Structure 1
Amino acid sequence: MEKKVLITGATGSTGRNAVNRLLDLGISVRAMVHRIDRRSDELEKRGVQVVQGDISVFDDVSNALEGISAAYYVYPITIGGIIESTAFFAQAALEQNVCHILNMSQISARRISKSHAAQNHWVAERIFDRSGVPVTHIRPTFFAEWTTYFAGEIRENDRLTLPFGNAKYAPVTAEDQGNVIAAILANPSAHAGKTYPLFGPVELTQYDVAEILSEVLGRKITYASMEIPEFAEYLKDKRSDYHIQHITAVAQDCRDGLFSGTNDFIEEITGKIPTGMLEFITSRKEIFQ
């Protein structure tokens, strides 16, 4: 079979970066997108085969996987339904003779998680493990992109508000994850059956991140550490109930140290040292100004 890779969530942060790297490697890519828009049009212009479909619809997934040698599976963290979607994806991959699945999980995925989404990710991992299709799981800590989600408040109030207290973790960029995804899908047999926790290069508190923002922007940015119930109220009209329940549960996990740690997996898999927060924020300086 000619090597052809399916990237789900291809216009999202990790999927888009994985497509970029796969194209650099000369690997044929099919992108599964939820809607046809400017972003999917740009992919087509670059030679990517675009298919529109819903990752929660069995026939859509089956059609997207036809003729695919390896596939990246990612499900939105903002909504429920991952367990059924995973079962559809695993069965369709089996029927279509897909040789490998790379599954985006999360570092908080575990049987006893208080987050419904994190617990569901753990169950989804077990479904893939039992599917008969070789699988690799990646489990990133919090994305560096979390800082950009609150860029409006940074611009308007010179304040970064998050519920992580004084916890330390090493934010990991979507680009580094995309590079990992591409490297694994380019040579999947070397990674079958493995689970990779993914971290950025240096553990930081949000006070540290605020100092980096201050340095890059040339003005004082303050980290306002919000208590978790207060942060849930803050998100009430901004996120779904499912997403809020997840964020509040993993905020406590973060405070308890679950998201902490570093390792060399990104460098070992991609040959590239992961991006630090100074470089990341500097590259996006304009959105915070």
Structure 2
Amino acid sequence: MTSTVFVTGATGNIGSLVVDGLLEKGVSVRALVHSEEKAQELRDRGVDVIVGEFTDESALARGLEGADRVFSLTPPNPDQVAQANAITAAANASSSHPHVVRLSVIKSNKSAPTRVSAQHGEIDAVLKESGLPVTFLKPHFFMQNTLFGGESVGDHGAIYHAMGEGKLGMIDVRDVADVAVEVLTGAGHEGKSYTLTGPESISFAQLGVQLGSALGKDVNVVGVPVDQAKSSMAEMGMPEWMIEAFAEYIVAYSNNYGDFFTDDVQNITGKTARTYKEFATDFASAFG
């Protein structure tokens, strides 16, 4: 029986859903957040909140005290390796020696063709060598990333992309969170690595068909050069490192780096992973 789960990145898209799922199961949750502003809502729901940064040794030590499982999530950023390794070091130093469930990415490897996957490969290697009980969750491209194109669908009836004919086994973040909750509260997952995808691998042309079906209207799918995609991201205010990271993924995915899918979501949760059409139906209002 899981007693306390320490969740980092607890207010983000995935972390917040993991907290929700754990609370629904009656699990005691302790969460790391960056500010008091974000802390109070969690406290009101019965979460034990630690305010601090990912590299704050004192905050991590308090968060890990008595915790038997940890959901280690660090958002993409230039300091991600140091942040994630700080969590691993703190867990290893903790007397509870907790089971770490780490959110990684598909094909994480130090020599991966994208900097984000390479970062995760470095982080995963350190965690493997730590001696801690660990489970790796390696999700594919998030369906929620396509919400960036919501305004263009509403205004122009079109979704723009730079991934060519490349196919992706993209996944809804809700399915990622569901898997995380099951692993954090279940048994037999130590030493395992799960590659999390949707139920199919689709191109953006196929995505457009499913999106149009969900919205009840035609959606044009328009291919653009990578440089144009980068310019659009800059106009949206994305930082340069994030633009370059996305661009690397665009090139890789265009060459079918992501053309695969697995049954891991269904095998762990007992439910089929959501299709893109199901995702688009649920988030129809975001597409105008």
User: TM-score w.r.t. structure 2 length?
Assistant: 0.93
> Given the superposition, is the C-alpha separation of residues 249 and 175 from structure 1 closer, same or farther in structure 2, using an over 3 Å criterion?
same
Q: Give me the whole-angstrom Cα distance separating, in 2, the residues matched to 1:107 and 1:93.
A: 24
Q: Which residue of 2 aligns with 1:275?
A: 274
- 2:15 counterpart of 1:34: no
Q: Which residue of 2 aligns with 1:94?
A: 92
- One-letter identity of the residue aligned with 2:93: E
> Given the superposition, is the C-alpha separation of residues 98 and 149 from structure 1 closer, same or farther in structure 2, using an over 3 Å criterion?
farther
- What SS class does the counterpart of residue 238 from structure 2 fall into? coil
* Partner deviation per Cα, 1:154-212 (whole Å, 9 max, x = no partner): 22222212221111112211111111111111125x11122111101122111122122
Q: Which residue of 1 aligns with 2:219?
A: 221
Q: Give me the whole-angstrom Cα distance separating, in 2, the residues matched to 1:271 and 1:169.
A: 22
Q: Give me the whole-angstrom Cα distance separating, in 2, the residues matched to 1:171 and 1:117.
A: 17
Deviation at 1:2, TM superposition (A): 6.6
Contact residue 10 and residue 19 of structure 1 kept, 8 A: yes
Contact residue 80 and residue 117 of structure 1 kept, 8 A: no
Q: Give me the whole-angstrom Cα distance separating, in 1, the residues matched to 2:46 and 2:12.
A: 18
Alignment of 1:4-43 (within 5 A): 4-37=4-37, 40-43=39-42
- What SS class does the counterpart of residue 29 from structure 1 fall into? strand
220-229 vs 194-203, which deviates more?
220-229
- What SS class does the counterpart of residue 6 from structure 1 fall into? strand
Q: Give me the whole-angstrom Cα distance separating, in 1, the residues matched to 2:156 and 2:279.
A: 21
- 2:229 counterpart of 1:249: no
Contact residue 171 and residue 203 of structure 1 kept, 8 A: yes
Deviation at 1:58, TM superposition (A): 2.6
Aligned length: 286
Alignment of 1:1-289 (within 5 A): 3-37=3-37, 40-77=39-76, 79-96=77-94, 97-188=96-187, 190-237=188-235, 238-289=237-288
Q: Give me the whole-angstrom Cα distance separating, in 2, the residues matched to 1:152 and 1:58.
A: 42
Q: Give me the whole-angstrom Cα distance separating, in 2, the residues matched to 1:205 and 1:2.
A: 40
Q: Give me the whole-angstrom Cα distance separating, in 2, the residues matched to 1:159 and 1:62.
A: 49
Deviation at 1:68, TM superposition (A): 1.0
Q: Give me the whole-angstrom Cα distance separating, in 2, the residues matched to 1:211 and 1:25.
A: 37
Identical amino acids, percent of aligned pairs? 24
Contact residue 62 and residue 89 of structure 1 kept, 8 A: no
- What SS class does the counterpart of residue 36 from structure 2 fall into? coil
- What SS class does the counterpart of residue 249 from structure 1 fall into? helix
Q: Give me the whole-angstrom Cα distance separating, in 2, the residues matched to 1:158 and 1:23.
A: 40
Q: Once superposed, which parts of structure 1, at least 4 consecutive aligned residues long, lie more than 6 Å away? A: none
Ranges in structure 2 where 5+ consecutive residues have no aligned partner:
none
- RMSD of aligned residue pairs (Cα, Å): 1.8
- One-letter identity of the residue aligned with 1:254: Y
- One-letter identity of the residue aligned with 2:153: I
Ranges in structure 1 where 5+ consecutive residues have no aligned partner:
none
Contact residue 199 and residue 261 of structure 2 kept, 8 A: yes
- One-letter identity of the residue aligned with 1:196: Y
Q: Give me the whole-angstrom Cα distance separating, in 1, the residues matched to 2:65 and 2:223.
A: 48
- One-letter identity of the residue aligned with 1:247: F
Q: Give me the whole-angstrom Cα distance separating, in 1, the residues matched to 2:223 and 2:138.
A: 25
